[in-house]
Chains A and B, each alone.
Chain A
Amino acid sequence: AQSVTQPDIHITVSEGASLELRCNYSYGATPYLFWYVQSPGQGLQLLLKYFSGDTLVQGIKGFEAEFKRSQSSFNLRKPSVHWSDAAEYFCAGTNDYKLSFGAGTTVTVRA
């Protein structure tokens, strides 16, 4: 079955420290991959997307993600976390018209 898995339910990081969120995918062919962020009580905001080409993708808010075909991964990174980055992050994939989301990773930022 086509799916996206986020192994980490919750991550706590200090402000100013680096952040990496893991995402693994299981698709027959390389899917389109996305990272979304959701603040409490709000909808989803697209951080970045991978369709093809360069495997290192830059997004908004200083985030980047690296597509690794050999590891079936699409991990999200940020070099220095700000308190406003506290939110829930979702990895999603598709090779047709519907997105499959991971269960999400909640990021807590401590001062």
Chain B
Amino acid sequence: DAGVTQSPTHLIKTRGQHVTLRCSPISGHKSVSWYQQVLGQGPQFIFQYYEKEERGRGNFPDRFSARQFPNYSSELNVNALLLGDSALYLCASSGVSGTGELFFGEGSRLTVL
């Protein structure tokens, strides 16, 4: 069975640009979460979506937005990129919302120049 898949795996952007990251959850999972992992730190929670509704948002500016589609895949959008947005963006899915057992993808490595 396919795990959580993310695309693209690597990308380079310049300051001020916009980026869209994509995630497909494990088949049957209805919840998708996004985390940001800056080099040398633990992942930080950005968003969780369950059944296409936003359940929670971490301490990130409004430049960060996300959505979940009817097939439960998800997009993370970041506008007006800053150098500090350079990070590994991890998507995770879970079958039952609230248990905290997340299955992570390999991540999208974003470099902002």
Q: Is the beta-carbon distance between A98 and B98 smaller than 8 angstroms?
A: no
Contact flags B1-20 to A (C-beta < 8 A → 1, else 0): 00010000000000000000
Q: Does A11 contact B (CB under 8 A)?
A: no
User: Number of A interface residues, CB 8 Å?
Assistant: 23
User: How many CB-defined contacts (below 8 Å) exist between A and B?
Assistant: 63
Q: Is the beta-carbon distance between B101 and A46 smaller than 8 angstroms?
A: yes
Determine how close the nearest CB of chain A comes to the CB of B12; give it in whole angstroms.
Answer: 16
Determine how close the nearest CB of chain A comes to the CB of B75; give it in whole angstroms.
Answer: 18
Contact of B42 among A41, A46, A96, A104 (CB under 8 A): A104
Contacts of A97 in B (CB 8 A): 31, 33, 48, 50, 55-56, 97-98, 100
Taken together as a complex, chains A and B put the C-alpha atoms of A103 and B65 apart, in Å, by 25
Taken together as a complex, chains A and B put the C-alpha atoms of A43 and B109 apart, in Å, by 11
Determine how close the nearest CB of chain A comes to the CB of B18; give it in whole angstroms.
Answer: 24
Q: Check A98/B48 contact, CB under 8 A, given A32-B99, A32-B100, A44-B90.
A: yes
Taken together as a complex, chains A and B put the C-alpha atoms of A2 and B48 apart, in Å, by 18
Q: Chain B interface: which size bin?
A: 20 to 34
Contacts of A94 in B (CB 8 A): 100
Q: Check A104/B41 contact, CB under 8 A, given A43-B105, A44-B90, A44-B104.
A: yes
Contacts of B35 in A (CB 8 A): 99
Contact of B101 among A45, A49, A103 (CB under 8 A): A49
The chain A residue with its CB closest to the CB of B97 is A97
The chain B residue with its CB closest to the CB of A103 is B42
Q: What are 9 sample pairs from A and B whose C-beta atoms fall under 8 A apart?
A: A34-B100, A46-B102, A49-B101, A90-B43, A92-B100, A97-B50, A98-B45, A101-B42, A101-B43
Residues on B lying within 8 angstroms of A by beta carbon are 4, 31, 33, 35, 41-45, 48, 50, 55-56, 58, 90, 92, 97-107, 109
